[in-house]
Amino acid sequence: MRSTMQEGQLTLSRLVDYSRRVFADTTVSTWNGAELETVTFGQIGDRAAQFAHALAKLGVAPGDRVATFLWNNDAHQVAYGAVPAMGAVLHTINLRISAEQAVYVIRHADDKVIVVDATVAPMLARYMASTPNVEHVIVANGPASAFDAPAGVTVHQLDELIAGEPTSYAWPELSERAAAAMCYTSGTTGDPKGVVYSHRSCWLHAMQVCMRSGMGLAQGDSVLAVVPMFHAMSWGIPYAAMMAGAALVMPGRFLQPEPLLAMMAAGRPTFAAAVPSIWQGVSAQLDVVPQDISHLRAIFVGGSAVPHAMIRKFDGYRAPITHGWGMTETSPLGSVAHPPAGLDDERAFGYRVTQGRILPAMEARLIGEDGSEQPWDGDSVGELEVRGPWVTGAYYSPDGAVADDSKFHDGWLRTGDVAHITSDGYLTLVDRTKDLIKTGGEWISSVELENLVMSSPAVIEAAVVAVPDEKWGERPFVLAVVKDPADRDARKHRAFLAATLPRWQLPERWAFVEEVPKTSVGKFNKMAIRASYAEGAYEVVEARD
Amino acid sequence: MRSTMQEGQLTLSRLVDYSRRVFADTTVSTWNGAELETVTFGQIGDRAAQFAHALAKLGVAPGDRVATFLWNNDAHQVAYGAVPAMGAVLHTINLRISAEQAVYVIRHADDKVIVVDATVAPMLARYMASTPNVEHVIVANGPASAFDAPAGVTVHQLDELIAGEPTSYAWPELSERAAAAMCYTSGTTGDPKGVVYSHRSCWLHAMQVCMRSGMGLAQGDSVLAVVPMFHAMSWGIPYAAMMAGAALVMPGRFLQPEPLLAMMAAGRPTFAAAVPSIWQGVSAQLDVVPQDISHLRAIFVGGSAVPHAMIRKFDGYRAPITHGWGMTETSPLGSVAHPPAGLDDERAFGYRVTQGRILPAMEARLIGEDGSEQPWDGDSVGELEVRGPWVTGAYYSPDGAVADDSKFHDGWLRTGDVAHITSDGYLTLVDRTKDLIKTGGEWISSVELENLVMSSPAVIEAAVVAVPDEKWGERPFVLAVVKDPADRDARKHRAFLAATLPRWQLPERWAFVEEVPKTSVGKFNKMAIRASYAEGAYEVVEARD
């Protein structure tokens, strides 16, 4: 039997128009290092239309990729609106990936246009020799001269480019299944993998963010979105804010504790979102210079597990932490740790430290080592697999070939996380199937790092494992065997890596041994290495800049 | 460019499974006249599976219609889960429509099975001679003998029918566009018209109910759903409760002020939903027997305009009213009157008395008498037209023929409401297109006049209709219910209005009655009032200056 309901496509142009009209006065503020510079959703809507006209003049057609190389700021919010609404695809490039990875994703996504913050324009300019697909670079928050254009790339200045363009645009009618945005994850070994969000998945996810089981964003909220707009769509906040009429407070490039606390004092946000390492820093700063942050009705924390002590500390600030779990592949919200109603504080705490309750639209299952589905009993562990309307079913492949099918299992996404789930749906991650290092919300592949360390002629073999770090959650620890005792010099090896890796990936902790422990089949025994490290069995050398 | 997202069908079986699993202990309580009888979402889930097995054995196949002739109770909640989840279509029959209309809708929907409350089984039995399509009747909340079965109809008792059936069911994989439920509207002249909701529309609407811009339902809420489950899907509460884990308090057939207040005292709900006339009665009862109802964080009121005085009165009870607008054709939520943030109470009040802000997924436009679109300026009026993913695009037609195309306009639903909308999206209904009073070439809004008459402390309720007038074409006629017989004084009420209205708008014709006639869904039955007036059935008092 057929329903009589209208087709009702969930397309993001609707959010641009809606927020511009009914939340015309709601503010979007960006920290400039000294104060908040404020525009409104009305102005964002005007600029989105102008930007779409400008992009169309540059030849951007439906389906074309328009990339951003931007911090969280109002220009980025304009791009979030304009690019999908006009039918193009917003590719948010992570500012923190290596040059090699950046070149890879720009080529792989076949970006035609890149919008770049003036502050990072020199970095982008260095990639351009290797990215012939890029035709236009648009500099935001600074002059066009900030970008040293190679031949074949036309440079524009954002404000100049859109000036004079009409402030309305006849957005095309799109299928809600059309691509809206893409984000690459470097969470696995090998090349980064692209996830292509649809209008539908962005829209449904934004509704979940506005539901009380999500972040409960609503008009009257003011959201400090520290989580980068280049990382998993800033956890859905940009679209949810447009849907709900929540004001935005954007940190720009100022992600250190002092400016974050300054912008909190200035903007008095009611809600904030960032990875644990950010809050670790904020808390350390609050120990030095106390400040009332109780204007935050909630702090949403994800990206890696929140230490229990941090939750208690922020409870003390009357700015309670809500813990959540997700991945770039899951848009990202998969579970949120709102405790069941009616519990006393201590019992509720037991729920708040989990990765959270699986959300209604998200299906989850645990697959044991023998391939069988494990019960939700709060005890049985298995690899977490998920599916749902905002979960990716594949990685992007320009030629339609299947990319890394090993991550999917009968239509479910294999998360690579080993977990258990309680009977009432609360997820706890206990380990990872692969030995990735999660540091400050970003991934380092231990395998890649090992390979790089071992690429030095001085090194015989080297294993890398994740070790706990108060500030970053995890950091890499390198256990190396060198040829010459004179090469037991951590600073030297670190300098070797610095030629290839971004600074945040460089390991600080090193130990030199005669042999790396191995399993019976000759693989590095990482469990044993982690255990020995924890016991203090290694003579650890610290190398920092 | 294609998105990589999973298909992710939004089907209601997911909500049955989810609520059963993660909200297993959340309660669904039904008032039995003396106390609340409580089951859990866990038990509802078990019974939904059992009921699906039983229906399958009766021959119910995907797409078949299974009707309910039930009050709000746990059996109805089971049917809301089981019937759509198994791929059949839930047809909720309004218990208050005429015999003729009931027979019409049972035949038109081609119901194969009807689940009936024992208390209304005799009423249903009388229709059966005219509804040869019905094969099975299942009696809930009483013995099978409550239903006097005609030849050709097999009678079952619900608990007996499902006893022993398995408590799990392999729900079929369905398209989210498949029919899930249907509801007939009798809001227009002529035969009732059917709206067929899809799994998708029910799911998206439930998300909106859980969003803070909707009702903000969440775990910890306990919802007194007075609005019937046979009327516009109880405003989406049954599915939203399953999604959010909100407990339900169901009134059964006890819809009078005393039992409603008794079940509030017993269940201490945090949220309640009903039409204004219910709250009018509750308020009158609270005047007699005071009771603390401040456990209600919000009362959601829709179905007809809420008198300003009622909002102030419930503010006084610390149980604030949230006003909303919708129709059976819109699932029903179309707009909700959460005021903008940051206003003082009086300015906020000005927003709270509107029909509310148009919701993000709902598109609205105003079409003026000349067919042109009117601006959103809070002043220009036009017929309200809406479209969106939970708006019907047609009325149900068994043979696929178009039913009442006049209600649709280029893919938009014509609501029949005359309205204006502010620039920030707040809707105010001025009247029904057919209820405006045209007098001496000027328009009078019957709704505004009603609100003003009801703002007098002496008046319990009042309806205004247009009646013919030789001199002016039409004039308003007021049918009022007053608290004190001494207030049956038209001159006094006219004088009250004269403080606000221009003289030409003051009604001359008044009648005082014990109760204003209402439709099956509790709205003023203006057709009946006009007919009675024409027949001279009212004792009309003339009041002039």
Query: With contact defined as beta carbons under 8 Å apart, do A337 and A355 qualify?
Result: yes
pLDDT of the residue at B226: 97
CB of A175 within 8 Å of a chain B CB? The answer is: no
Q: What is the CATH number of the domain that holds A538?
A: 3.30.300.30
Show the tokens assigned to B203: 């799911």
Structural domain contains residue A253: no
Residue A188: what pLDDT?
A: 45
Q: pLDDT by residue (tens digit) across B110-166?
A: 999 999 999 999 999 999 999 999 999 999 999 999 999 889 999 999 999 999 999
Side chain identity at B272, as an amino acid letter? A
Cα→Cα distances B409→A325, B251, B380, B389, B528, Å: 45, 39, 20, 16, 29
- State the Cα–Cα distance between residues A470 and A313, nearest whole angstrom: 14
Residue A174 near residue A57 (C-beta atoms within 8 A): no
Q: State chain A's mean pLDDT as an integer.
A: 93
A455 to chain B, minimum CA–CA distance in Å? 36
- Contact B338/A at CB under 8 A: yes
For every residue of B364-400, DSSP letters joined together read: EEEE-TTSPEEP-SSS--EEEEEESTTSBSS---TTS
| Domain assignment present for B241 | no
pLDDT at B277 exceeding the cut of 90 = no
Q: What's the pLDDT at B188?
A: 46
Query: Residue B459 domain-assigned?
Result: yes
User: Quick one: how far is CA A125 from the chain centroid?
Assistant: 23
Local structure of B50: helix, strand or coil: helix
Which of B5, B198, B217 minimises the CB distance to A390?
Answer: B5
Looking at the domain assignment, is residue A322 inside a domain?
no
Residue B530 forms part of a structural domain: yes
- pLDDT tens by residue, B184-230: 986 545 789 999 999 999 999 999 999 999 999 999 999 999 999 99
Torsions phi, psi of A284, nearest 5? -60, -40
B344 confidence band (pLDDT: 50, 70, 90): very high
Cross-chain Cβ contact B5/A201 below 8 Å: yes
ipTM of the complex: 0.88
Return the higher-pLDDT residue of A436 and A61. A61
**How far apart are alpha carbons A510 and A210 in whole angstroms?**
45
Total domains, chain A: 1
Residues from chain A that touch B201, judged by Cβ atoms under 8 A, are 3, 5, 8
Q: What spatial distance separates the first Cα and last Cα of chain B, rounded to whole Å?
A: 73
Q: Which residues of A touch B413 (CB under 8 A)?
A: 6
- Put simply, the answer to whether B392 touches A6 (Cβ < 8 Å) is yes
Position B433 pLDDT exceeds 80: no
**Mean pLDDT, residues A502-521:** 87
| CA B383/CA B414 separation, integer angstroms | 7
Can you give the pLDDT at residue A421?
98
Instruction: Please give the Cα distance from B412 to B363 (Å, whole number).
Output: 9
Per-residue pLDDT at A433: 65
Residue A446 has pLDDT above 70, yes or no: yes
Q: Examine the residue annotation and report whether A443 is marked as an active-site residue of this protein.
A: yes
Active-site pick, A176, A329, A385, A474: A329
**For residue A394, is it within any domain?**
no
Locate A45 and state its tokens: 């809507």
Structure tokens at A70: 């931007």
pTM for the predicted model, two decimal places: 0.87
- pLDDT value at position A520? 54
Is residue B460 one of the residues assigned to a domain? yes
User: CB distance from B207 to chain A under 8 Å?
Assistant: yes
- The parent domain of residue B479 ranges over 435-542
Considering only A247-256, B210-219, B459-468, which range has the smallest mean pLDDT? B459-468
Structure tokens at A513: 């041994």
Contacts of A394 in chain B (CB under 8 A): 4
Q: Is B328 a catalytic residue?
A: no
Active site residue B443: yes
Residues pairing with B511 in the sheet:
B479
Select from B40, B184, B211, B365 the residue whose CB has the most chain A CBs within 10 Å, as the one to mutate to test that interface. B211
pLDDT of B189? 54
Q: Angle at the Cα of A422 (from A417 to A423), degrees rounded to 5? A: 135
- What lies within 8 Å, CB to CB, of B382 at 6+ separation is B365, B366, B367, B368, B369, B373, B374, B418, B419, B420
A461, part of any domain: yes
- B212 neighbourhood in chain A, CB within 8 Å: 210-212, 216-218, 244
